[in-house]
Amino acid sequence: MRLRNKPWAEDFITAHPHIVIPNPQDYRGNWGEVFQNNNPLHIEVGTGRGQFVTEMARANPGINYLGIELYDSVIVSALENAIEAGLPNLKLLKVNGEHSAKFFQKNDVSRVYLNFSDPWPKIRHARRRLSHENFLKLYESFLIDNGEVHFKTDNRELFEFSLISMSEYGMLLKYLSLDLHVNQPKDNIMTEYEEKFSAKGHPIYRLESQFVTK
């Protein structure tokens, strides 16, 4: 994603602490305080402009959603979407997803979404892929027992890497599609990238996997 500088972004984010949660480490183990309920929590790592997480929150009012995005110039678009939607079960974090263990502990999260993550195509960068073993260990550390990871991409190599990575980790593969939109589930909510790539005829790869309690 090419980032445009938005000098107003930081002030805009700071002005909305009820949506972009400041000091998220303060709520580690107690995210119910933020949402004022104990509903399941789902997070999207790399939420981009926020279309997916916003529409998921709209469609599932009994689930709490957190969109995680590092860059000011990107998360402001997600914030604008969240403000317009006005959904009490939608919040954002402006943090690096690699540091999620600082903000979540075991049983805080029920599901992780990875949508159109950076494929990091060079072999030497494999450890940076969000489906690498190191990240799977991270997710497992704060997910509930039998928690799930849902993954979408248009990149065949990243999909194959992720499929192998999750299988070798011992996860249970619950759903797999090599072309999601051929028989698209009625409840499928698309990201901005998904709309763009599918409109060009690119197949969308999806898998749902579950950690198995050892």
108 residue type, one letter: D
Q: How far apart are CA 41 and CA 93, in angstroms?
A: 13
Structure tokens at 206: 């999806």
Q: Does the active-site annotation cover 11? A: no
Other Cβ atoms closer than 10 A to 12: 16
Q: Which one from 26, 118, 145, 179 is the annotated catalytic residue?
A: 118
3-state secondary structure of 179: coil
Cα 166 from Cα 162, distance rounded (Å): 6
Q: Strand, coil or helix: what is 42?
A: strand
Residue 170, C-beta contacts closer than 8 angstroms, at least 6 positions apart: 212, 214
Beta carbons within 8 Å of 29's beta carbon, 6+ residues apart: 105, 108
Q: Are strands 41-45 and 109-115 parallel, antiparallel or unpaired?
A: parallel
Rounded Cα distance between 102 and 27, Å, is 10
Contact 76, 9 (CB under 8 A): yes
Catalytic positions, written as ranges: 118
